[in-house]
């Protein structure tokens, strides 16, 4: 066991499943047909067979070449995967509702365009792409692609009802351990957040999962995420090692197949970290500078990520989209005008998440300001991207206690997290 590392000892894995049965195939017996003559017709080599019952061989007519154009009967829009595009409905005076229209595949030519449904999302308000003009891609295309992923990758905390043996605290303990493992192996923040997304979406497809399997599912999600994000991911033996004998390599491999099939190989969501990095970069972007090179403050960035880490451990975070979570966290360290500029989201969309996040921010204010850590073989300009771990479980307990004690008050968008409007006279206690 490595020094300074505390294994996850609360969850153990049971015996592995039996190996898959082998598939046997049978050889088909048959007569040997001899080919004795070849002829080249129309650039195609055809083979002629000799049959002992016929005196002269018969020549088969050459097979007609199929038309290159597809048959109209096969043009079924429902068989192709649909995408979404933003309708150009921006107003000059500011943001307007975002209308996403389901569009057919480019190869299809539907006879009735009105058959495609139109979707209006009342809680998603944006303006034109906040991403500056890019030399290597269209900023509008990049923005639309990110919004499409918000619709494609669905997360929900309802899996807790489908798995009654699990409690929200178990999820928090597991994620806290995954963050600790990520810091030990110097994994990136994106890797840890991908693992969290894989775990939550996988659990949404399962029922009656026992707590003994949580550690196996969690370490497998981190194993898959590291292969997706890291240039040099740790070996599977190292992931088995950190479980202190609870999971072996065979268990992780079998669970990996199960996880990938359950997620339908959809492994590229936009995580809260990717949204936060976009917001911070757009805010710090200067004229003529490379958009791909980070220009924001590393010290300010790790403070926001610590708030996000703490919030993601609470199951209530699954009630909000990842873009809104990142915007709400950014809002606690900036003004709403800046958040609106970098995200296009309105206060009506962000304010519920900002209010929910306030107790977590209060719990962090009682702690020391996080500092950049030095990691071996990590460049100084990449240190802010490495996942770190603090006493998140203690901070989570304090934040949840503040949640229970806090009243449901409306925050002012002018001074987020500072001023709270007083309750109305009907909401005040009768003895005051």
Count the Cβ atoms, other than its own, within 10 Å of residue 120.
11
- pLDDT at position 403, please? 87
Q: Residues 325-335: pLDDT tens digits? A: 999 999 999 99
**Residue after which a domain boundary falls, among 150, 168, 184:** 150
The first and second tokens of residue 156, run together, are 């929900």
- pLDDT at position 86, please? 47
CA distance 163 to 343: 35
Q: Are residues 371 and 278 in the same domain?
A: yes
CA distance 298 to 325: 20
Question: Does residue 218 lie in a domain region?
Answer: yes
Q: Are residues 179 and 144 in the same domain?
A: no
Which neighbouring-strand residues pair with 44? 41
The residue segments making up the domain with residue 146 are 80-150
Q: Are residues 382 and 344 in the same domain?
A: yes
Q: Are residues 415 and 268 in the same domain?
A: yes
Q: Are residues 121 and 184 in the same domain?
A: no
Q: Are residues 296 and 187 in the same domain?
A: yes
Average confidence (pLDDT) per 10 residues, the chain, 432 residues: 48 41 38 38 42 49 49 44 47 45 44 48 56 84 90 91 92 97 96 97 93 95 97 96 94 97 96 95 81 85 96 95 96 93 92 95 91 89 93 94 71 43 43 42
In the chain, how many domains are there?
A: 2
**Residue after which a domain boundary falls, among 102, 119, 150:** 150
Question: Does residue 72 lie in a domain region?
Answer: no
Question: Does residue 53 lie in a domain region?
Answer: no
- pLDDT at position 114, please? 52
- pLDDT at position 426, please? 46
- pLDDT at position 112, please? 52
Handedness of CA 257, 263, 158, 126 (dihedral sign): positive
Question: Does residue 44 lie in a domain region?
Answer: no
The first and second tokens of residue 77, run together, are 């829009």
Question: Does residue 257 lie in a domain region?
Answer: yes
Q: Are residues 145 and 167 in the same domain?
A: no
Q: Are residues 141 and 167 in the same domain?
A: no
Question: Does residue 180 lie in a domain region?
Answer: yes
Q: Are residues 262 and 133 in the same domain?
A: no
Question: Does residue 48 lie in a domain region?
Answer: no
Which neighbouring-strand residues pair with 34? none
């Amino acid at each position: 066991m490595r020094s300074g590392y505390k294994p996850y000892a609360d969850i153990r894995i049971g015996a592995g499943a039996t190996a898959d049965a082998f598939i046997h195939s049978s050889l088909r017996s048959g007569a040997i047909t001899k080919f004795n003559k070849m002829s080249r017709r129309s650039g195609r080599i055809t083979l002629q067979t000799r049959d002992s019952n016929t005196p002269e061989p018969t020549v088969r007519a050459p097979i007609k070449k199929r038309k290159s154009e597809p048959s109209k009967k096969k043009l079924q829009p429902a068989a192709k995967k649909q995408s979404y595009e933003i309708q150009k409905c921006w107003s000059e005076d500011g943001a307007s509702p975002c209308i996403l229209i389901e569009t057919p595949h480019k190869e299809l030519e539907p006879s009735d365009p009105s058959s495609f449904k139109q979707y209006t999302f009342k809680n998603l308000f944006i303006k034109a792409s906040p991403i500056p003009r890019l030399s290597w891609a269209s900023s509008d295309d990049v923005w639309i692609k990110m919004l499409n992923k918000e619709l494609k990758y669905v997360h929900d905390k309802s899996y807790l009802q489908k798995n009654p043996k699990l409690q929200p605290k178990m999820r928090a303990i597991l994620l806290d351990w995954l963050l600790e493992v990520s810091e030990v192996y110097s994994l990136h923040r994106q890797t840890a957040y991908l693992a969290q997304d894989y775990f939550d979406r996988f659990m949404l497809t399962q029922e009656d999962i026992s707590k003994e399997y949580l550690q196996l599912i969690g370490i497998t999600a981190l194993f898959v995420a590291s292969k997706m994000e890291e240039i040099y991911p740790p070996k599977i033996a190292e992931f088995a090692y950190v479980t202190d004998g609870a999971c072996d390599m065979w268990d992780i491999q079998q669970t990996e197949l199960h996880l990938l099939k359950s997620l339908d190989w959809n492994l590229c969501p936009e995580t809260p970290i990717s949204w936060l990095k976009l917001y911070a970069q757009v805010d710090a972007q200067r004229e003529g500078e490379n958009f791909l090179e980070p220009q924001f403050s590393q010290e300010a960035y790790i403070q926001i990520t610590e708030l996000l880490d703490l919030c993601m451990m609470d199951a209530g975070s699954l009630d909000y989209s990842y873009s809104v979570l990142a915007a709400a966290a950014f809002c606690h360290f900036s003004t709403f005008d800046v958040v609106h500029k970098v995200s296009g989201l309105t206060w009506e969309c962000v304010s519920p998440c900002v209010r929910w996040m306030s107790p977590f921010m209060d719990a962090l204010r009682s702690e020391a300001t996080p500092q950049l850590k030095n990691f071996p073989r990590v460049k100084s300009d990449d240190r802010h991207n490495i996942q770190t771990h603090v006493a998140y479980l203690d901070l989570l307990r304090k934040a949840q206690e503040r949640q229970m004690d806090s009243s449901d008050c409306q925050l002012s968008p002018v001074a987020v997290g500072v001023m709270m409007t007083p309750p109305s006279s009907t909401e005040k206690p009768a003895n005051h």
